[in-house]
Structure 1
Amino acid sequence: MHTEEKHNDIDELISLYISGTLDEPSFARLKQWSLESEVNRVYVRNRLEVWFSSGVSGDGASFNKNEAFDLFRQRIAKAEEKQKQVRRFSWKVLYRVAAVILILLLPLGAYWQGKETVKHTFADMTVEAPLGARTKLHLPDGTLVWLNAGSKIVYSQGFGVDDRKLSLEGEGYFEVMRNEKVPFEVKTKEVNLKVLGTKFNFRNYPDDAEVTVNLLEGKVALHNEIRPMQELYLVPNERMVLDKLTGKMTKSHVKAENASVWINDELFFDEELLEDIAKKLMRSYDVEIEVADSLKNKRFYGSFKIMGNTIDEVLQTIASTNRMKYRHEDEKYILY
């Protein structure tokens, strides 16, 4: 068998393993091949890293994240049952697939060395949502993330091995997979958030005047990075707003689910600054909007469907409150 054909065959086995359809004889074959050489072991590890991080599988096989994650937990549970008498060996139940394969394929004595190799060879992964669009993804730990237009997250390929930290720029809706041993953390320049398992919406675009976090389920801890203060905790249907200029952090009761309606192609303004509303509209419709200084501190309330409503229709509705006017000139909307 030629090298390329051999690797294609191994690729198929790896993809079937991730999708949950690899039978025992084939798994034994994959294990044997990986143990034949260091090159083979690295090949398997790298293939799993690329596929699991990108959320796709090889040609001719269907990748199902939920099935793969369930299979992963089942196999780890069986392995832990067999290894109960080995006190010196303890596996973390939520290791990523790359780390799991190392556990399954390497001799026990080489496991810790393999784990460290994986951790130090991980690169950062960046996922972005372009202007005028939204992006949906699942993180390696099973957490669901929606990114609003003009947003991005950055996380290590080792996400879930020893920590679950990511950085956010823009707006994201998160449904966090619970893991009491490894907290989930979102880091931004002004506010850091830590949870175990919950649903929340976090908005912090670089050009916004405020940072907002709306909690739908669970509990979150918020750390102010602008000025010293005790951590602020939110419970469901509470919202935190941080003023980026002063560092003042305030909490209020809200209907938190309204903050994440954008994942359903809707816009919702809950007494938001017109300047921030304009930025939302620019990202959603990929247009340029200028707000007069006299209007920047005005707040508005409203709800709109993005699909089926043009930018002119949205602005006309806001203008109907008689609190602003707008015009379109030089390929730019001017609010005054």
Structure 2
Amino acid sequence: MQHDKHTQIDEWIVDYLNGTLDRNAFDRLTQWASETEENRRYIRQHLELWFASEEAAKNISFDKEKAFQRFLERTAVAKENEIPVADIHVFEKRKERVYFGSWKTYLRVAAVILILLLPFVGYWQGKEAVRHSFSDIVVEAPMGARTKLYLPDGTLVWLNAGSRLAYSQGFGVDDRRLNMEGEGYFEVSRNEALPFEIQTREVGLKVLGTKFNFRNYSDDEEVTVNLMEGKVSLHNEVKSMPELYLAPNEKMVMNKLTGEMIKTRTDASRSNVWINDELFFDEDLLEDIAKRLMRSYDVQIEVADSLRDRRFYGSFTVMGNTIEEVLSTIASTNQMRYRYENGKYILY
């Protein structure tokens, strides 16, 4: 009977490492682990045996039957040769190899180890604690510059000047969620199992695989999303309303103060020209245009209250055009004037 019980425990361990263990079985496994130190030692030993196998360091999918058979064979060999029980310190020394080899396996075993050390902590709380223990990776684009990078899932990102994004080291394991401030152009790798999400204070964005431009600087009056390909869903964090969906060549503009979201048709291909050192204003507020110029040219600009609601359309090349030339072109519309005073440009 004892042999049958351990066979069941062995099956649960294999299912857990494969990611197929259901909630009921996991509760029974953790209950068994919490009963005695001998039980916890049994699981620790078998986890260590599993990670001694060459497959554990590779990011591959396991065949359940073959994996279980190999697991039993290794257990038998260990007993025959009296391999000593490994403690948590040995596992910590080997963790780096697993860490780079397979994120999914690392998360699962880290969760099990946590439960063995704190047997009365539930699985879901333990998993969250492990996930939150990862340090965030932060990428920033300084004023007057742009940054190009690839996320762990292969997504291409361009960050505009003064932008910042942060994502967990576990990005792409259980989710593809990041926090962002500023402007970014994204070419998202498609993964229907893990939607790609951007979270800001005002808007939550979710896609499967697509190309879009997202702008939400903390000091801007508006949030803007332009969609080139695919489909985007937008969740309003300011006020309650149904999710808003964008199709290619559609644009969403949100008023941060009121939470109002407006969808219009547009030529979305122009929205990311900034990655080629160009500026494009599509009926943008002069207040937000001034902030974009400050980030691009690293200068100070002040806008008179009487001009805050003015909107402008136009495009400029940053390289080869000074800030004075850009301001002069905008002023040629006779909608504003400017002067340089005390180290900053004043628009009035």
Q: Same fold (TM over 0.5)?
A: yes
Which entry has the higher C-alpha Rg, 1 or 2? Answer: 2
Change (3 A) 1:152 1:116: farther
Q: Tell whether the 8 Å contact from 1:102 to 1:115 is kept in structure 2 after alignment.
A: no
CA distance in 2, matches of 1:139, 1:286: 27
1:63-114 residue CA offsets vs partner (Å, 9 max, x unmatched): xxxxxxxxx9xx75xx44x72645889xxxxxxx96561489x8xxx98315
1:277 has 2:289 as partner:
yes
CA distance in 2, matches of 1:186, 1:180: 16
Question: Residue in 1 aligned with 2:242?
Answer: 230
CA distance in 1, matches of 2:112, 2:214: 32
Q: Tell whether the 8 Å contact from 2:103 to 2:170 is kept in structure 1 after alignment.
A: no
Return the letter of the residue paired with 1:113.
V
Return the letter of the residue paired with 1:231.
E
Question: Structure 2 stretches of 5 or more lacking a match?
Answer: 1-47, 52-56, 70-96, 114-129
1:149 has 2:129 as partner:
no
Give the one of 226, 234, 241 matched to 1:214.
Answer: 226
Change (3 A) 1:322 1:111: closer
Q: Tell whether the 8 Å contact from 1:99 to 1:115 is kept in structure 2 after alignment.
A: no
Give the one of 109, 113, 116 matched to 2:109.
Answer: 113
RMSD of aligned Cα (Å)? 2.6
1:83 has 2:95 as partner:
no
After superposition, where does 1:256-295 map in structure 2 within 5 Å?
256-295=268-307
Change (3 A) 1:163 1:324: same
Change (3 A) 1:292 1:217: same
Q: Tell whether the 8 Å contact from 1:176 to 1:199 is kept in structure 2 after alignment.
A: yes
Q: Tell whether the 8 Å contact from 1:152 to 1:168 is kept in structure 2 after alignment.
A: yes
CA distance in 2, matches of 1:290, 1:180: 45
1:171 has 2:167 as partner:
no
1:239-279 residue CA offsets vs partner (Å, 9 max, x unmatched): 01111111111100000111111011000001111111000
Return the letter of the residue paired with 2:245.
Y
Question: Structure 1 stretches of 5 or more lacking a match?
Answer: 1-37, 42-71, 90-96
Count of aligned residue pairs for this structure pair: 251
After superposition, where does 1:99-110 map in structure 2 within 5 Å?
101-102=101-102
Question: Residue in 2 aligned with 1:195?
Answer: 207
Q: Tell whether the 8 Å contact from 2:165 to 2:181 is kept in structure 1 after alignment.
A: yes
Question: Residue in 1 aligned with 2:327?
Answer: 315
Change (3 A) 1:98 1:158: farther
Question: Residue in 1 aligned with 2:138?
Answer: 126
TM-score (norm 2): 0.67
Change (3 A) 1:327 1:236: same
Return the letter of the residue paired with 1:162.
D
Question: Residue in 1 aligned with 2:77?
Answer: none
Change (3 A) 1:210 1:185: same
CA distance in 2, matches of 1:195, 1:134: 24
* SS of corresponding position for 1:268: strand
Return the letter of the residue paired with 1:101.
G
Shift of residue 122 of structure 1?
1.7
CA distance in 1, matches of 2:68, 2:156: 34
CA distance in 1, matches of 2:172, 2:331: 47
Shift of residue 322 of structure 1?
1.0
CA distance in 2, matches of 1:98, 1:304: 50
Shift of residue 329 of structure 1?
1.1
* SS of corresponding position for 2:321: coil
Shift of residue 291 of structure 1?
0.6
1:135 has 2:147 as partner:
yes
CA distance in 1, matches of 2:197, 2:215: 15
CA distance in 1, matches of 2:178, 2:103: 25
Aligned-residue sequence identity (percent) comes to 65
CA distance in 1, matches of 2:279, 2:156: 21
Give the one of 212, 217, 229 matched to 1:205.
Answer: 217
1:314-333 residue CA offsets vs partner (Å, 9 max, x unmatched): 00111111111111111100
Change (3 A) 1:164 1:115: farther
CA distance in 1, matches of 2:285, 2:305: 12
